[in-house]
Structure 1
Amino acid sequence: MTVNNRGPAERPARVMTKTLQDGVRRTVLPSGLRIVTEAIPTTRSAALGVWVGVGSRDETPTLSGASHFLEHLLFKGTEKRSALDISAEIEAVGGETNAFTTKEYTCYYARVLDADLPLAVDVICDAVANSVLAPADVETERGVILEEIAMHDDEPGDEVHDVFTEALFGADTPLGRLISGTEATISPMTRTQIHRFYRSRYKASNIVITAAGNLEHGKVVRLIRRALAGTPLDGPGEPGGLRPAARHRIKPPTTVVRNRDTEQAHLVLGCEGIGRLDERRFALGVLNNVLGGGMSSRLFQEIREKRGLAYSVYSYGSQYADAGVFAVYAGCAPGKAEEVLALIRAELATVATEGVTAAELARGKGMVKGSYVLGLEDTGSRMSRLAKSELLYGDLMSVDELLAEVDAVTLEQVNGLAADLLAKPMSLAVVGPFDDGAFSPAR
């Protein structure tokens, strides 16, 4: 895959449009804001997303949770619309709006009937560009977010993944901090701090707007330009490139136990993975499916099907610009936790030393290809694909190109990655009715 890391040399003095693939067009506005659309004439719907290249890893320790706080606030009102107007205008035409925050980007999106795409463009662009961040709304959403944090703490199956990430990177690092922030950071955060973060980070050069469905690219561009005219996202600029690599650290392997009065033990065992642009990412997708990606995977068969020790067991990978995570999750009865953990360790060690078989390779490839193609069956997923390709990869691979990359993965590549990845020292996170020291040290 060729990475097109667009930079200052591409500063557009005018609107620049080109065709990327059949039905996919890309326009760079004079502000540097990028618009990518995919025309799907056979649908009667359209999905629109405003993607901002800002997430929790861009925050200082004091501002931990600011990106997520801001995500909440941008739906609370603009000079033109109240919070009720924003939701009511979209719901009145049967559409839906929502948003989410990750460690490296934030997305605001809407799905509507194709005829209502102009309304969705106006509403979402208005919310992202013109939010007033009223002091009363800041206080209201502060309470909502604190309740959200408390609710998350009541979900041990979710909490354990955050505990693991903190154990791996460190709770005091950009990748280790919680996306939501904590009560200690959210409670004192002021409206002034949030507004300053908003205006300094939400720049046109750092924003990609994507749409997919029954649409015309030129019309979408005109709608977006009209919606953003005269806003802080208007004016001269240049398109941003890919997120630059940043320094990150991996802590020495450790075991972290959070004592909770739960019916199940929740375990995550894992290590540093690979970044999203690593050429081995296709091999990792295959390896992940063989290990714990489905009901035919080694971990599922060994721990659930053969022994009945856990209801849920799976492996997963998370990739960032310059780092990654590979881990295995299992939920089981507390009395079975040590046995389940030993089986996970044994399976990882076996694959690290012996590799996977040719039959597993073929099955793993099929799972990767099938999940990708089947995941593109709706306009929302097509819209997301365009945004992630532009914002995170700098290039849009066609479906055929991606499938060819998966087909090209060899047994030697998968087994080489397994030997490198699964032999690393592992950190362990546990949430359940256990005291510190209840588990043997991480290896």
Structure 2
Amino acid sequence: MNGAVELPLGTPELAFEAAGDAFVRRSLLPSGVRVLSERVPGARSATIGFWVAVGSRDEHPAGTGHPATFGSTHFLEHLLFKGTRTRTALEIAVSFDAVGGEHNALTAKEYTCYYAKVQDRDVPMAVEVLADMFTSSLLDPDEFENERGVILEELSMAGDDPADVANERFFEAVLGDHALGRPIGGSPETIRQATREAVHAHYVANYRPQDLVVTVAGAVDHDRIVEALTRALGAAGWDLDLSASPDARRSTSPAPLAPPKPLTVVHRPIEQVNLLLGVPGLVATDDRRSTLSVLNAIFGSGMSSRLFQQVRERRGLAYAVYSFGPAYSDAGLFGMYAGCAPAKAPTVAALMRSELERVAEHGVTEEELSRAAGQLGGASALALEDSDTRMSRLGRAELTLGEFQDLDEALRRIALVTGDDVQALAADFAARPFSLVAVGATDEAAFRGVVDETAPTTDAA
């Protein structure tokens, strides 16, 4: 495979070889369902994912001309395991437990995925059960109320984790009123207010043939997957002869963002302060995303990174310290995290910012570039030993990127990144407005001068 392979929404069939003798196929069914598979030589298992490009950002508050659906995406993730017209919740669980398989789901900001990992011989069963869950969930009223309690407990657990709290507040501070700034799981208030009718309407509106993407990686026979899927969807009552086009992908033009909140402090009587400092980042399709990968590797990924060396190794100020750069269709972030004693928090925050500014001013060395390329290449190759990673890569390629990159193409793009590219991106980030979030036994005054705290937000929760 030379270069990335485009995935046009109107192309019925695609097939191509990928790195490591893998073979990728993509079929667009007449109903709008998309099926992507990656056959991996020597694999004895496969991971299957049922995706919809609907996440927490796609929910609506009351009074917007749409049904109030805050929390509905997370509710559905739970409810689709609670029984269909032909299977009870226990029977769904037994289907996978009886063959030693794994099954689960995840709700993200821009998509939801229901997935399973099984031996090659059990792939048709997994496709059948996942299809039944996806198309025919009862959303039983009693189960709905049970899961309301479960989700509230899940949110309470996250609320007791200061790192989770800091992460949620960081997205809110940087992305503001953009829908990506909302918490994925909803809030206790929105979960308490959610109704079965609203969640059911969300289900009916977004779980249609033209919304469904099925990705399978590992020990895969593409034709058998399509056959099993078609049979299962037909049994559920879907009209697969009805001609429909897949839903269009999201716009990848950067969204206008409100000015970020410079300083947010959440008071908690705990041993450490959880710090997050960062800026608005890149969208997922930005041409500089390979440069971002290299910058992140040099700056804050791994024990040889600048943040780790400066904050932990040389000064002993923190145990955990790293950087990260999540990217979405029309927005992104670049952030730095550290957990440290309250007395050290101002110094750590100032160091994180100054280290980024140092890269912006002085650039990086050729040794760092070489090390980053090796780190990224090795980590990617090791990750692709797992069919879960390959399955997720197919889903992201289809739903967000509109192109498939294999390992060789990813490494080729990384090799093209220069020191000037990294320095320019660091300078771009360093010139953007910073947001700092601190959760712990600290206050606003401790961070004076680290960010321009013209509008600090304090929360005693």
Q: Shorter-normalised TM-score: what interval?
A: over 0.9
Look up the SS of the partner of 1:181 in the other structure.
coil
Q: Which amino acid aligns with 1:17?
A: E
Determine the structure 1 residue equivalent to 2:168: 162
One-letter amino acid of the counterpart of residue 243, structure 1: R
Could you tell me how far 1:240 is from its partner in structure 2?
Answer: 2.8
Q: Specify the code of the residue in structure 2 equivalent to 1:241.
A: A
Q: Is the 8 A contact 1:275 1:322 kept in 2?
A: yes
Tell me the equivalent position of 1:127: 133
Residue 37 of structure 1 is matched in structure 2 by 37
Distance in 2 between the 1:240 and 1:2 partners? Answer: 22
2:48 alignment partner, SS class: strand
Residue 223 of structure 1: how far off its partner (Å): 0.2
Match of 1:423 among 427, 431, 443: 431
Deviations along 1:211-265, one digit per CA (max 9) or x if unpaired, are 1122211011000000101434743311233212474414234100011111110
Of 388-397 and 297-306, more deviation after overlay is shown by 388-397
Secondary structure of 2:404's counterpart equals: coil
Aligned to 1:93: 99
Residue identity in the other structure for 2:94: A
> In 2, are the aligned partners of 1:20 and 1:396 still within 8 Å (CA)?
no
- Give distance in 2, aligned partners of 1:435 and 1:410: 41
Deviations 1:283-317 (CA, angstroms, capped at 9, x unpaired): 01000111101100011001101111100000000
- In 2, distance between residues paired with 1:217 and 1:345? 49
Measured against aligned partners, the alpha-carbon deviations of 1:151-208 in whole angstroms (never above 9, x if no partner) come to 10101012111111111122x4311111011111110110000000011111222221
Matched residue, 2:250: 243
Contact map agreement 2:296 2:324 (CA 8 A) in 1:
yes
Structure 1 counterpart SS, 2:319 = strand
Structure 1 counterpart of 2:113, from 81, 103, 107: 107
Residues in 2 aligned to 1:57 and 1:66: alpha-carbon distance in whole angstroms: 11
Note the 1:131-150 alignment, pairs <5 A. Answer: 131-150=137-156
Task: Give the equivalent residue in structure 2 for 1:394.
Answer: 402
Q: TM-score, normalised by structure 2?
A: 0.91
Q: What is the CA RMSD across the aligned residues, in angstroms?
A: 1.7
Distance in 2 between residues matched to 1:5 and 1:375, nearest whole Å? 23
Write out aligned runs for 1:276-315 (5 A): 276-315=284-323
The correspondence for 1:202, drawn from 199, 207, 226, is: 207
Question: Are positions 1:408 and 2:438 aligned together?
Answer: no
Deviations 1:123-146 (A, max 9, x none): 111101110101111101110111
Whether the 8 Å CA contact 1:64–1:178 is kept in 2: the answer is: no
Unaligned runs of 5+ in 2: 62-67, 453-461
- Describe the SS at the equivalent of 1:319: coil
Distance 1:250 1:347 in 2: 26
1:215 aligned residue (211, 220, 225): 220
Q: 1-side partners of 2:135 and 2:434: how far apart?
A: 43
Higher alpha-carbon deviation: 56-65 or 31-40: 56-65
How far residue 413 of structure 1 moved from its aligned partner, in angstroms, is 1.0
- Contact preservation (8 Å) 2:7, 2:404: no
Instruction: Describe the shift of the 1:124–1:44 C-alpha distance in structure 2 as closer, same or farther (beyond 3 A).
Output: same
CA distance in structure 2 between the aligned counterparts of 1:94 and 1:283, rounded to whole angstroms = 41
User: 1:236 & 1:83 partners in 2: Cα distance?
Assistant: 33
Give per-residue Cα distances to partners, 1:58-98, cap 9 Å, x unaligned.
11134222111111111111001111111111110100100
TM-score, with structure 1 as normaliser:
0.95
* Conserved? CA contact 1:64–1:179, under 8 Å: no
Query: Which residue of 1 is the match for residue 458 of structure 2?
Result: none
Q: CA deviation at 1:414?
A: 1.0
Aligned mates of 1:233, 1:383 — CA distance in 2: 26
Quick check: 389-398 or 272-281, which moved more?
Answer: 389-398
**Structure 1: how far apart are the matches of 2:260 and 2:139?**
41
- 1:3-48 CA distance string (max 9 Å, x none): 84735xx2x8xxx433133521111111111001112241211110
Q: Secondary structure at the match of 1:318?
A: coil
The one-letter amino acid paired with 2:8 is: R
Q: Which residue of 1 aligns with 2:65?
A: none
Matched-pair contact (CA < 8 Å) for 1:35–1:209: yes
- Partner of 1:311, secondary structure, is coil
1:274 aligned residue (282, 301, 314): 282
Separation (CA, whole Å) in 2 of partners of 1:266 and 1:232: 48
- Secondary structure of 2:43 counterpart: coil
Range moving further from structure 2, 243-252 or 97-106: 243-252
- Assess if the C-alpha contact under 8 Å between 2:72 and 2:202 holds in 1: yes
Secondary structure at 1:63 match in 2: coil
Write the distance in 2 (CA, Å) between the matches of 1:54 and 1:18: 25
CA contact (8 A) 2:82 2:88 kept: yes
User: Could you tell me which residue of structure 2 aligns to residue 349 of structure 1?
Assistant: 357
Match of 2:28 in 1: 28
1:6 corresponds to? 8
1:86–1:406 CA distance, 2 compared to 1 (3 A): same
Q: Percent identity?
A: 47
Match of 2:15 in 1: 19
Deviation at 1:375, TM superposition (A): 0.8
Whole-angstrom distance in 2 between the partners of 1:320 and 1:81: 36
